[in-house]
Amino acid sequence: MEKFNFKIEKKIPGKLGRAGVIHTPHGDIETPAFIAVGTKATVKAMTPEQVKEAGAQAVLANTYHLYLEPGDEIVRAAGGLHKFMNWSGPVFTDSGGFQVFSLGVAYEEGGISKFLTEKTGENNGRKSNAEKLAKIDDDGVSFKSPKDGSLHRFTPERSMEIQHNLGADIIFAFDECTAPTADYAYQREAMNRTHAWAKRSLDRHNELNLEAGLPNDQYQALFGITQGGRFQDLREESAKTIGAMSFDGFGIGGSFEKKDMNSAVGWVTALLPEDKPRHLLGIGAVEDLFIGVENGADTFDCVMPTREARNGSIYTKRGRINIRNAEFREDFTPIEADCACYTCQHYTRAYVAHLFRAEEMLAATLASIHNEHFFLTLVKNMRQAILADRFVEFKTEFLTGFKKSG
């Protein structure tokens, strides 16, 4: 089996977007692709078989959470994440950076708005009296576990060691994720620290590979992460700096305001090496996926499909619906008439609505299956549109219909 690689198959004329294939030891990822989030080695409310049937090519697990529970050494003893969670396809793990820095006092699955560090003492621009759980310095970050208050330390080297134990196909360099509201001076400070940590992550990653004598069929690809917030000069400087390092691919940090996304992603991808894949971290709104694809992002991850599903918010091609609404009590049609997912093939809106009102666990499973299928299929269709030279038309057609119901 050959080493990790990426091949571009087709480009969007006049845009930075492209369709390609990422080759990993556990299979190919046809891009652009949506990556299902399995935070704690599980996509919430779904079995691995259901995740695969929904169309997922790969999953992304969370380094920070798996370090705290069950522990990376236990995952390694189990044979790595693939065996531990019974997932045979490609696996990503993030660096743990976002979770360590946000540490959400009430953190569940993600979201920049829950950002909290000792550096700023702010929560999304508002002062907070909550205990500050993370202390950053140039060497790394010390933090308290929200589970039991125990003290822990992450450095770039430690992040690499944990991720090697987890055994994912694609891992990320340790970075400092900033709040979108952070000022220019702090964004630069954090970016410079991220660049220094990227070099240290790369060095330790290479050392660990040498120590383990890993053959090509067990090769882990390491992605460097660009930062810089909403500032063009910082984003471009970060893209040039990280892009010049010998990473296998790149992550684009999402610490920018939603309104700046179109510009910010383009600033970065225009300068990153074209022959390596780019992952847009934590992006999942429907409109944002189109923006990311046309601006050259190849893969995406977001907890939105399952998180919103558990709250009864379900996606259709005409917009989101709240399945708890009274109008669905006697609606004996599928969630979406032409949807091929397991839920739509076997159950009605009325039944799923009943499960939510009855507070049955199956409600979250059936809604999550549909939402994951919706996002996975949407990005798969973007890929097909690129290959057919009709991405712009597909984008216009889809978003026009999607916004009709909103």
What pLDDT is stored for residue 213 in this prediction?
85
Positions annotated as catalytic residues are: 94, 301
Q: What is the mean pLDDT of the chain?
A: 90
Give the residue from 343, 367, 346 showing the smallest Cα distance to 357: 367
80 and 186, same domain (yes or no): yes
Q: Rounded to 5 degrees, what are φ and ψ at 257?
A: -65, 150
Q: In this predicted model, which residue has the larger pLDDT, 253 or 158? A: 158
293 and 346, same domain (yes or no): no
Q: What is the mean pLDDT of residues 134-162?
A: 93
- Return the structure tokens found at 352: 């799923």
Judge whether residue 235 has pLDDT over 60.
yes
Judge whether residue 222 has pLDDT over 70.
yes
285 and 140, same domain (yes or no): yes
| Nearest-angstrom CA–CA distance, 355 and 342 | 16
Lowest mean pLDDT among 149-153, 212-216, 350-354: 212-216
CA dist 56 → 31, 35, 153, 376 (Å): 12, 7, 33, 6
- Please report, for the domain that includes residue 36, its CATH number: 3.20.20.105
What pLDDT is stored for residue 130 in this prediction?
43
Structural domain span for residue 378: 309-402
What pLDDT is stored for residue 124 in this prediction?
38
365 and 250, same domain (yes or no): no
Segment 102-134, tens digit of pLDDT: 653 333 333 333 333 334 334 334 334 445 678
Which of the four pLDDT bands, split at 50, 70 and 90, describes residue 258? confident
Sheet architecture: strand order including 18-24 = 5-11, 18-24, 27-31
258 and 381, same domain (yes or no): no
Judge whether residue 312 has pLDDT over 60.
yes
Lowest mean pLDDT among 206-210, 252-256, 351-355: 252-256
Segment 321-349, tens digit of pLDDT: 999 999 999 999 999 999 999 999 999 99
Which of 276, 302, 328 is the last residue before a domain boundary?
Answer: 302
What pLDDT is stored for residue 126 in this prediction?
37
Which of 246, 268, 302 is the last residue before a domain boundary?
Answer: 302
Q: Which residues pair with 250 in a beta bridge?
A: 224, 278
Which of 267, 302, 337 is the last residue before a domain boundary?
Answer: 302
- Return the structure tokens found at 165: 């134990």
40 and 174, same domain (yes or no): yes
182 and 57, same domain (yes or no): yes
What pLDDT is stored for residue 117 in this prediction?
39
What does 167-200 look like in DSSP terms, one character per residue? Answer: T-SEEE----PPPTT--HHHHHHHHHHHHHHHHH
Question: What percentage of the chain's residues is helix, strand, coil (to nearest 5)?
Answer: 40, 20, 40
296 and 355, same domain (yes or no): no
What pLDDT is stored for residue 257 in this prediction?
73
- Cβ atoms within 10 Å, residue 83: 12
Segment 67-113, tens digit of pLDDT: 999 999 999 999 999 999 999 999 999 998 888 776 533 333 333 33
- Number of domains forming the structure of the chain: 2
154 and 27, same domain (yes or no): yes
Segment 23-57, tens digit of pLDDT: 999 999 999 999 999 999 999 999 999 999 999 99
221 and 332, same domain (yes or no): no
368 and 245, same domain (yes or no): no
156 and 180, same domain (yes or no): yes
